[in-house]
C-alpha cells in the first residue's frame, strides 16, 4: 500500500498509469467578455435649472428577446447622484455593488465632517463630477486589461461648485460632459430632440423642472416608437439639491401609432 496521504483516494498509478494533472489546473485561459449578453438599451438625461432629469426603460433584452421587464437601470449614489446604466446587465450589477461598497467607505472617511456642510454632497463626499471621473478611470483600466465592462453609463448630480452635472462614460473609458446626453440608440433618436431645448448650459439653466421632465418623457416615447429593444415602462429620476427622486413605474401615455402606416422600406411591402 502507498502510505503517503497524498495518494489516498486517488486512482492507483500502478493500475491506471500516472494521473494527468493538467485536469487539475486552477487557472484556465484568460477570459474576457467578447460581447454583452443581457442588455439594457438607451439612457437619456437632460440638465435643468436646479438639477438633472434622467430616464431609462425597465427592459433587459436577451438578444432581440424582451427577457426581463422589471429591471432598475437607474441607481442612486449617496442620495446625491444618479447613475444610469446602458449595456450589459451583469456588468451593471457588478458596478452597482462596487458603488455600494464605495459609498460605505466614503461614509467612514468623512464621518467626522458629516454634519452641516453646505452645497453638494454632505461632508465633502464624492459628488457626481468626482464619481464620473472615478468611473472613467475604472472603465479605461478595464479596457486596458482587454476585459471591458460592457456599459455606457450616465452620471447625474452636482459638481464641486454646486452646479448641475451630467457626464457619460463608455466601455472604452471615453468620458465627457454635456447639457444633455443619451446613450445607445438614444444618441441618434433622442439627442437631437434634447439639443433643440438645451444646446448649451445657458439654455439648460433656463429650463424648469416640469419642462425638463416633459422633454425626457417625449424622448422616451420617440425611443419606444423607433427602438425595437425598448419598452413602454420606464424609470424616471430627478436629482436636485434636496436629493434624488426615482420613480420606477412610469408608463408611456397617449401613444399614437398612426404614423406606422406611412413607414415604408421593410418587410414584405413593395413601395
Catalytic residues: 33
Q: How far is the CB of 134 from other proteins (least distance, A)?
A: 18
Contact (Cβ atoms closer than 8 angstroms) between residue 80 and residue 86? no
Contact (Cβ atoms closer than 8 angstroms) between residue 64 and residue 169? no
Name residue, grid cell 472604452. Answer: 172
All residues at 6 or more sequence positions from 107 whose CB lies less than 8 Å from its CB, including other chains: 114, 125
Distance CA 231, CA 209 (A): 24
Q: Contacting other proteins (CB under 8 A), which of 7, 114, 161, 263? A: 114
Binding mask 30-69 for other proteins (x = CB under 8 A): ------------------------------x-------x-
Does residue 100 interact with other proteins by CB under 8 A? Answer: yes
Of 97 and 163, nearer to other proteins (C-beta) is 97
Does residue 92 interact with other proteins by CB under 8 A? Answer: yes
Q: Contacting other proteins (CB under 8 A), which of 44, 46, 56, 71? A: 71
- With contacts defined by CB under 8 A, name the span among 91-99, 175-183, 202-210, 257-265 that binds other proteins: 91-99
Q: How far is the CB of 215 from other proteins (least distance, A)?
A: 27
Of 207 and 244, nearer to other proteins (C-beta) is 244
The three grid cell numbers given for residue 33, joined into one nine-digit string = 467578455
Distance CA 86, CA 143 (A): 17
Q: How far is the CB of 114 from other proteins (least distance, A)?
A: 6
All residues at 6 or more sequence positions from 29 whose CB lies less than 8 Å from its CB, including other chains: none
Of 76 and 164, nearer to other proteins (C-beta) is 76
Does residue 118 interact with other proteins by CB under 8 A? Answer: no
Strands 43-48 and 65-68: unpaired
Of 79 and 200, nearer to other proteins (C-beta) is 79
Distance CA 82, CA 75 (A): 6
Q: How far is the CB of 35 from other proteins (least distance, A)?
A: 19
Q: How far is the CB of 124 from other proteins (least distance, A)?
A: 15
H-helix or E-strand containing 101?
helix 89-109
Of 108 and 257, nearer to other proteins (C-beta) is 108
List, in sequence order, every residue forming a beta bridge with 181; answer none if it has no partner.
45
Of 93 and 200, nearer to other proteins (C-beta) is 93
The three grid cell numbers given for residue 30, joined into one nine-digit string = 484568460
Does residue 161 sit in helix, strand or coil? coil
All residues at 6 or more sequence positions from 95 whose CB lies less than 8 Å from its CB, including other chains: 83, 85, 135, 149, 151, 153
Residues near other proteins (CB under 8 A) are: 60, 68, 70-72, 89, 92-94, 96-97, 100-101, 104, 107-108, 111-112, 114-116
Amino acid at each position: 500500500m502507498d502510505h503517503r496521504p497524498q495518494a489516498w483516494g486517488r486512482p492507483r498509478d500502478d493500475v491506471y498509469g500516472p494521473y494527468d494533472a493538467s485536469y487539475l489546473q486552477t487557472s484556465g485561459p484568460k477570459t474576457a467578455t467578447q460581447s454583452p449578453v443581457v442588455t439594457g438599451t438607451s439612457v437619456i438625461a437632460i440638465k435643468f435649472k436646479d438639477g438633472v432629469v434622467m430616464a431609462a426603460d425597465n427592459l433587459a433584452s436577451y438578444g432581440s428577446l424582451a427577457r426581463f421587464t422589471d429591471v432598475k437601470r437607474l441607481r442612486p449614489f449617496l442620495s446625491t447622484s444618479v447613475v444610469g446604466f446602458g449595456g450589459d446587465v451583469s456588468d451593471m450589477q457588478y458596478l452597482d455593488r462596487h458603488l455600494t461598497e464605495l459609498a460605505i467607505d466614503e461614509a467612514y472617511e468623512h464621518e467626522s465632517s458629516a454634519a452641516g456642510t453646505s452645497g453638494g454632497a454632505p461632508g465633502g463626499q464624492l459628488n457626481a463630477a468626482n464619481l464620473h471621473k472615478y468611473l472613467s478611470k475604472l472603465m479605461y483600466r478595464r479596457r486596458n486589461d482587454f476585459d471591458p465592462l460592457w456599459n455606457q453609463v450616465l452620471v447625474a448630480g452636482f459638481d464641486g461648485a454646486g452646479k448641475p452635472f451630467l457626464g457619460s462614460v463608455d466601455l472604452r473609458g471615453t468620458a465627457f460632459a454635456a447639457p444633455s446626453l443619451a446613450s445607445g440608440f438614444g444618441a441618434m433618436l433622442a439627442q437631437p430632440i434634447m439639443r433643440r431645448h438645451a444646446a448649451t448650459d445657458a439654455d439648460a439653466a433656463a429650463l424648469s423642472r416640469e419642462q425638463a421632465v416633459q422633454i425626457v418623457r417625449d424622448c422616451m416615447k420617440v425611443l419606444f416608437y423607433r427602438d425595437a429593444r425598448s419598452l413602454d415602462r420606464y424609470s424616471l429620476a430627478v436629482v436636485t439639491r434636496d436629493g434624488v427622486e426615482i420613480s420606477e413605474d412610469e408608463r408611456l401615455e397617449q401613444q399614437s401609432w398612426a404614423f406606422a402606416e406611412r413607414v415604408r422600406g421593410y418587410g414584405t411591402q413593395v413601395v
